Amino acid sequence: MRIKLERRPSPSRTMLVVTPIASVIVTMLIGMVVFDLMGIDGTRAVKDIFLTPLLLSYKWQDVALKAAPLIIIALGLSVGNRAQVWNIGAEGQYIVGALAAAGIGIAAGTAGGFFVILAMVLAGILFGALYALIPAVLKTRWDVNEILSSLMLTYVSYQILGFLVGGPWKDPNGRNFPATAPLAENQSLPLLFSGSTVHLGVLIALILPFVFWVMMSRSVFGYQVRVVGSAPQAARHGGFDAKQTVWIAMLIGGGMAGLAGALEFTGALKAINLGFPSGYGFTAIIVAFLGRLHPIGCLIAGIVLAVTYVGGQVAQTSVHIPNSTAGIFQAMMLFFILASDILIRYRLRIVTAAKPVVAGE
């Protein structure tokens, strides 16, 4: 008996939707078993990581705050990935975006209000996009692999952040701790509900997926991105410029990451210190794949991943598992989603016919 792959006449839309859900469920089941083997109450741990944040209403705002940057970054990355442009430096663009917002805030001094906040957010988008433009230019001009260059620039961005918050932008009243001064109220993003921590960025993260949905499915640009990604020669034949597509895809990816950084800074954290890089830029890669590179998929997957972040903290206190566990769960989900990709185009068939006696050898 063996398993045989059989190509489907056309890709299965059912599998496209079912496999991400199955990946999450399989990850949960494996998690239970592994934790039990490690001597931890597996059912409890998995419940705390995947369900508790949804069941306890006071955890919802935490989930929303974590989900917002993940969704926004993933939206941008999924555009690039569809065009086969692999920007894995979103973390760096996220950092640069936040730094740009902080720079505007510092330059504005005590001034604040709508236009200053708008300028801060726009600066975040602009600088995130510009930072992503470096790998885009290198790729289109000299064919430099964008995976490596965008990642290297993330390591560089850590140092830029370290330099700025430890030097020129250091809070003079901060007891020499390397961090910017906390934002004043008039430079912070407005809250959606007073008394909560849910800021305007969350609303933006809820609206953007629908904007991207229309853009990717209806516009010529969305069509261009999909053609360039699936069949670059056909794109050329259809009159689409591959270089231009790389540029725009990278700019969107970087702009969204920069936006997420600016929103996180102005809405949630209010100050930048050495702990600002949180790995959202990398986790968003998982979000994009779990969401099947579809904008609405990214919205849902962003929430799922945010749940595991919040749930990971819950489980940390309830069953004393380390924080890094959430990361392993996230990577496992990505593995399963990638492993199940094959089911979209192929059918698994179990062949039971006995093999004839081999006489040829």
Partner 1 sequence: MTPSPSPADQPRLELVGITKRFPGVLANDQVSFTVRPGEIHALLGENGAGKSTLVKMIYGIQQPDAGEIRWNGARMVIPSPKAARKLGIGMVFQHFSLFEAMTVLENIALGMDASIPARDLEQKILSVMDQYGLKLEPHRIVSTLSVGERQRIEIVRALLLNPNLLIMDEPTSVLTPQEVEQLFVVLRKLASEGCSILYISHKLHEIKALCDTATILRGGKLVATCNPAAETSRSMAEMMIGGSLKDIQRGAGREMGAAKLVVHDLCVPKDGPFGTALKGINFSVRAGEIFGIAGVAGNGQNALLLALSGEVTAQSDAVQVDGAKIGATSAKARRLGGMASVPEERNGHAAVPEFTLSENAVLTARDRLGMVSNGMINFGSAKTYAGEVIRAFSVKATGPGAFAESLSGGNLQKFIMGREIMQKPQVLVVSQPTWGVDAGAAGAIHQALVDLAATGSAIVVISQDLDELLSLCDTLAVINEGHLSPPMPVAGANIEEIGLLMGGVHGDPTADVHVSKEVADAY
Partner 2 sequence: MSLDFIIAAIITVVGLTTPILLAGLGELVVEKAGVLNLGVEGMMLIGAISGFGVTVMTFNPWLGVLGAAAGGALSALLFGVLVLSLNSNQVATGLALSIFGTGLSSLIGLSFVGRIAAPFGSIFPASLAKHPILQVFFGYSPLVYFALIMVPLVAWFLKSTRAGLILRAVGENDHSAHSIGYNVIGVRYAAIAFGGAMAGIGGAYFSMVITPMWAEKMTAGRGWIALALVVFAGWRTGRLLAGAYFFGILMALELYAKASGFSFLPSQFWAAMPYLMTVVALTFISSRGNVGASAPACLGKPFLP
- Binding-site ranges for partner 2 (CB under 8 A): 5, 86, 88, 134, 138, 141-145, 147-149, 151-153, 155-156, 159-160, 162-163, 166-167, 282, 285-286, 289, 322, 324-325, 327-328, 330-332, 334-335, 338-339, 341-342
- Distance (Å, whole) CA 339 – CA 333: 10
Nearer to partner 1, 196 or 219 (CB): 219
Selection from partner 1, partner 2, none that 223 binds (CB < 5 to 8 A by kind) is partner 1
For the chain, how big is the Rg over CA atoms in Å?
Answer: 23
Q: Which is nearer to partner 2, 21 or 339 (CB)?
A: 339
270 Rama sector, left if φ>0, alpha if ψ -120 to 50, beta otherwise: left
Give the span between the Cα atoms of 109 and 312, in whole angstroms: 38
| Least separation in angstroms between CB 137 and partner 1 | 22
Residue at 98: amino acid letter: A
Tell me how far, at minimum, the Cβ of 144 lies from partner 2, in Å: 5
Residue 10: which of partner 2, partner 1, none does it interact with, CB under 5 to 8 A by kind? partner 1
Residues in the chain: 361
CB 13 within 8 A of CB 358: no
Select the binding partner of residue 1 from partner 2, partner 1, none (C-beta < 5 to 8 A, by kind).
none
- Residue 356: contacted member of partner 2, partner 1, none (CB under 5 to 8 Å, by partner type): partner 1
Looking at the Cβ atoms of 186 and 217, the one nearer to partner 1 is 217
Judged by the rule CB under 8 A, the positions of this chain that interact with partner 1 are 6-7, 9-11, 218-221, 223, 226-227, 230-231, 233-234, 236-239, 356-361
Asked if 273 contacts 177 with a C-beta cutoff of 8 angstroms, the reply is: yes
9 binds, among partner 1, partner 2, none (CB under 5 to 8 A by kind): partner 1
Which of partner 2, partner 1, none interacts with 298 (beta carbon under 5 to 8 A by kind)? Answer: none
- Cβ neighbours, 10 Å, residue 32: 18
> Do residues 195 and 120 touch, judged by C-beta distance below 8 A?
no
CB 301 within 8 A of CB 21: no
Least gap, CB of 229 to partner 1 (angstroms): 10
Is the CB of residue 271 less than 8 Å from the CB of residue 182? yes
Beta-bridged to residue 7, according to DSSP, are 346
Residues 190 and 203 sit within 8 Å (Cβ to Cβ):
no
Output the smallest distance, CB 165 to partner 2, in A: 10
**Collapsed DSSP state (helix, strand, coil) of residue 238:** coil
Selection from partner 1, partner 2, none that 332 binds (CB < 5 to 8 A by kind) is partner 2
CA distances to 150, 298, 302 from 210, in Å? 27, 11, 14
**CB of residue 195 vs partner 2: minimum separation in angstroms?**
35
Report, in Å, the least distance between residue 146 CB and partner 1.
20
Nearest to 250 by CA among 82, 99, 71: 82
Q: Which does 148 bind (CB under 5 to 8 A by kind): partner 2, partner 1, none?
A: partner 2
Give least dist CB 9 to partner 1, A. 5
Would you state the structure tokens that stand for residue 354, as one six-digit string? 């006995």
Contact 280, 70 (CB under 8 A): yes
Shortest distance in whole angstroms from residue 168 CB to partner 2: 10
Give whichever of 91 and 264 is closer to partner 2, judged by the CB atom: 91
